A and B are shown apart, each in its own frame.
Chain A
Amino acid sequence: QMHLVESGGALVKPGGSLRLSCAASGFSFSDSKMSWVRQAPGKGLEWISDISSSGSVINYADTAKGRFTISRDNTKNLVYLQMTSLTTDDAAIYYCARDPRYFEFDPRGQGTLVAVSS
């Protein structure tokens, strides 16, 4: 059964940086495209970035371009999201998802909370 555990969320000041991690198990991680999706408090869902199974193809939402970097380690079944120049608009719960064609989240997952405040 697929299991995704996000971590790394914290309270940071505007302009700060953070690295999120997602540990995957229960499926063939090295064959799977992965995505990060976020949800601001009380708001809807927003796709942030995806990375192909090999890591060779990466896409970003406009809100993430130039500030966020997605990467993966297929030897450790981990996907990362490095975030820099954070603003209050980046405050959200961040979820990772397996992404064969549509997002597959871990139904037991709660994401990782990023708060941005001075």
Chain B
Amino acid sequence: EIVLTQSPATLSLSPGERATLSCRASHRISTYLAWYQQKPGQAPRLLISDASNRARGIPDRFSGGGSATDFTLTISSVEPEDSAVYYCHQRSAWPPGSFGQGTRLEIK
């Protein structure tokens, strides 16, 4: 089973600051990784697929990078509406795949 570990658990930033979220895999997963954003009371929203491909309609302030075991989601300049929980998800070993435990982004 591939375990995804996200850090930090919580990130508190002011508008305009840069957010860097990390996801580390217990085994190499190439670039079979996605990032999701989930706001309270809503379904998750796909942000990034295959580690670095922005999904349709996602603002370009969101970017993803990494390969093998270390991945990063970067928000270049956070906005108040970016307040959410962010999950990484791997599809390298399917089924069942796995999700990280999430990083909560708070905007001051």
Contacts and interface: CB of A to CB of B under 8 A. Distances in A.
A59 B43 CA distance: 22
B24 interface: no
Contacts, number: 57
Contact of B43 (A44, A50, A60, A110): A110
B67 interface: no
Contacts of B42: 107-110
Interface string A79-98: 00000000000000001000
What does DSSP make chain B's interface, helix, strand, loop or mixed?
loop
Contacts of B96: 47, 59, 61-62
Among B89, B94, B96, chain A packs the most CB atoms within 10 A around the CB of B96
B41 A110 contact: yes
Interface residues of B, number: 22
Interface in A39-69: 44-47, 50, 59-62
Contacts of A45: 36, 38, 44, 87, 89, 99
Contacts of A44: 87, 99-102
Interface residues of A, number: 22
B95 interface: yes
B91 A102 contact: yes
A61 B34 contact: no
B43 A101 contact: no
Interface string A93-118: 00100000111111111110000000
A98 to B, nearest CB: 10
Contacts of A107: 42-43, 45
Interface of B: 34, 36, 38, 41-46, 49-50, 87, 89, 91, 94-97, 99-102
